[in-house]
Structure formats: C-alpha cells, structure tokens
Amino acid sequence: MKKIFLIALILFSGQLFPQRLDSLLNALKNYGKEDEQKVKILNGISAEYLNIEPGMSKSFAVKAKELAQRLGDEKGLAESLMSVSQAATHIGEFNVAMQHLQQAEKLFEKLSDSEGLLRCTMRLANICSSMGDYPAALTYASAGLKMAEQNTDKKRVATSNTNIGNIYFQMGQKDKALNYTLKGLTGAEELKDLPLVASLNNNLGAIYFDMKDFKNSLSCYTKALNYAEKRNDKFKQSTILYGIGQVYFAMKKFAEASSSLKKSLTIDIEIGNKNHLAQTHFALGDCYKFTNDKKNAIKEYEASLALGKESGNTVVIGNSSIELGDLYRATGDIKKADEYAKAGKQFNDSLLADQKKIADMKKKFEDEKKQQELGRLKEEKAEIEKKSVKAKPTSPLGPFGLFAGGGFIAVLIGIVIRKKLRGK
C-alpha cells in the first residue's frame, strides 16, 4: 500500500484549486457567446477536473473539441484534442488517448507550433508510461528533451529531465531516476521556478525514501515544504506532509509520523481534497495499528473506506476493508471481520481484473499501431515506385542511370522506414 501511494505522489502533476474550478464554472455559466474564448474556458475546466473526476474532465474536453470544430478554430481544436487525450489516459482509454493525440500532432504541424509538438511528444511519453511500456515512454521523453533543448526552452528541459527521472523510478533504476531529477532541479533553480523547485524536491524526497536514505528524504521534503509554505500552496503542503509522515513511519517514529499526517489531513479538509484524504486516513490507521491502538486504527480505516467508496478508489476500498477485517478479528468481532474480509477480496479481485483489462488494451493498441505503420510504409513505397516508373523514359543516363535511380529509390525507402522506426 505504501508503494502505491508513493508512486501516485511522485507522478502527480496536476493541482487542485477548488476556487479556480468554481471561478471557471461561473465564467462558463455567464458566458453567452459561442467563440474561441469559450473553447478556452471549457478546456480550462477540463484541466481542473482532470485529477479529481477524469470522466467529467473528458466530458468538458469533448465539448471544447466540438465547439472548436464548428468554429473552425484550429488552435483551439488542437488544444481540445490534447485535453481529451489527457482525460482518456487518466480513465485508461489509451487507444482513444493516442488517436486524439495523433490528430493534435497533425494540427500543430500544420500550424508550425513547435511548442505544441513538444507537448505532444511529452504526452506520448505519459501515455506509454501509463500503459506500463516504460522503454517506449523513455524514447518519447528523451525525444521531448532533445526538442526542448533545440528550442532552448529551459523550463521544458527541466520538466523533461523530471519526466525521464520519473520513468526510471518506475523502471526501478533509482540511480538514473536520481540523476535526471537532480538535473531537473538544477534547471528549475536557475529559472527561479519555485513551484517546480518545490515539486522536484518532493520527488527527490520520494526517490530517497525508496532508496531508504531517510536523512536526505526528510531534507528534500523539508525544503519542498518551505517553498510550498512561502507560496501558500496548500495542495503541495498536504502532499509533502504526507511524504514526511511516510518517512517517519518507515523509521518507526510513529508519534512524528502521526503529527505530520494529521497536519496533512487538516489541510486536505480545508481544500476539499477527498482523494488524498482517503490515503492520509489510511496512513494514520497504519500508525495506530503499529502502536496497538486498535480503536483509533479502526476509526481511521473506516474513514478511509468511506472516502474511497465516495471517490470510487478501489485500491483504498480493498486495502481498508482488509485491514478492518484483520482488526475486527483481533477484537473478537468475527461477523464484522468476515464481512470486511469478503469485501476486501472482492475489490482486490476487481483490481486484478482491471489490471488485466489494461494489459489487454495495451496489446490491442500495439497490434493496431503495427498494422497501421506497415500499411503506411507499403503505401509510401508504392508511391515512390510509381514515381520511379514515370521517370524511366526520360532518363538520359541509359542502363547506368536506371541502376542509379533504383539505388536512389532504395536509399529513399530506407530513409522513410528509418524515419518511421525512429518515430516509433
């Protein structure tokens, strides 16, 4: 359970600001025109919903896409396609995500929007990462880094290094994860980008935690917390305090862990971050469980379970149910113990089924992508050969000219194929 929460924190890229979402919803309600500005508002709402209700995020992104299509707003359409892609990724609809991303990529190429193309490449890395295809994710993320360097986009260079670090973290290559995250931090500090500096120190805290370097983990988390407090960024404060609580828990300093987690809990309640609340209640339950305070442990696990059901977080539901089953069994309440144990097994079985579904979707996507790629290569080869046939009668070089032309075609086909393979 700890590992799942840790990865969720290190990958978390969005921020939840309820007041900003409310402001955008009010703006949409009071906006009477059907124009490009409305497309931007719809995409903004989609972005705010992304990490709390991805289904709602997709719904608003689709509305933005449809409006942009009616208006002929190519820039707005490209951004809307990106929004749909991102929401679909969060839901697990990877084929949908990839299709919309490819459409966005074509529009950005048409608009000569290098920044948009860069974001597409970085998003491709995110989709592959979500599908568990880390080698492909690393290829795209590295390409994104190269593009950012060519564009002299220092912020994208920093974030690309960060993304590569995150991918290596998931691949279990902690030293490389640390190296790239430190590069990202150096770039963020040069830019004086305090939000990114805070995020990267938080990521470093998570990486050092996984390396069991608790001293450096606490140091990085503390730096991140100081930055977040200076900016009054409640969301990051809550996330970082949770990480600090996890470090103290691993060090068996349960009083310090509980103190940090309670601070995180207070902030989560203040900003209405229900998904993170469920995780924090669960972590507090662990603290009470290991200090043999069964009463408070049950209280925290039940709070975690209730919030998990509210948000539909099957991981929280399954694990909270299992812990409650064990605790009620220890207190002698066999009836409740059996009820919770049964519920926990059902949700864990459901989670395994979901994981299999994602794996099947990944295979289907890869097969479809291979077929599409082969089809495109055949079409391009046929077109090149067609042009070659037309050119033969006018060749002034005789047999040698034909031979050279054939060599040129072979080279050209090779270039096309290599280009496509590099694109993969």
Domain assignments of the chain as residue spans, ordered by start: 273-359, 384-424
Question: Token pair for residue 139?
Answer: 């290829």
Burial label, 367 (beta-carbon count in 10 A; 0-12, 13-18, 19+): exposed
CATH number of 273-359: 1.25.40.10
Please give the Cα distance from 332 to 350 (Å, whole number). Answer: 28
What is the model's pLDDT at position 414? 42
Instruction: Identify the CA nearest to 362 among candidates 404, 329, 370.
Output: 370
Give the pLDDT of residue 20.
83
CB within 8 Å of 294: residues ≥ 6 apart: 288, 327, 330, 331
146 phi and psi angles, rounded to 5 deg: -65, -40
Tens digits of pLDDT across the chain (424 residues): 444 333 333 344 444 456 788 889 989 988 889 999 999 999 999 998 886 788 899 999 999 999 999 999 999 999 999 999 989 887 778 889 989 999 999 999 999 999 899 999 998 898 888 778 899 999 999 999 999 999 888 999 999 999 999 999 989 899 999 999 999 999 999 999 988 888 899 999 999 999 999 999 999 999 999 988 988 888 889 989 999 999 999 999 999 999 999 999 999 888 877 778 888 999 999 999 999 999 999 999 999 999 888 877 777 888 899 999 999 999 999 998 898 888 877 766 665 665 565 556 556 656 665 676 677 677 776 777 666 655 544 443 333 332 333 343 333 334 343 444 344 4
pLDDT at position 49, please?
A: 86
Quote the pTM value.
0.65
pLDDT at 328: 92
Query: What is the C-alpha separation between 242 and 258, in angstroms, rounded?
Result: 10
What is the model's pLDDT at position 176? Answer: 96
Tokens 């090149």, located at residue: 384
Residue 130, pLDDT score: 75
* Cα–Cα distance, 336 to 208 (Å, whole number): 39
Spell out the residues 6+ positions from residue 243 whose beta carbon is closer than 8 angstroms to its own.
6, 9, 202, 205, 206, 209, 217, 221
Please say whether the beta carbons of 169 and 195 come within 8 A.
Answer: no
DSSP state of 273: -
- Measured between alpha carbons, how far is 43 from 60 in angstroms, rounded to an integer? 7
Record the tokens describing residue 150, joined without a space: 């060519």
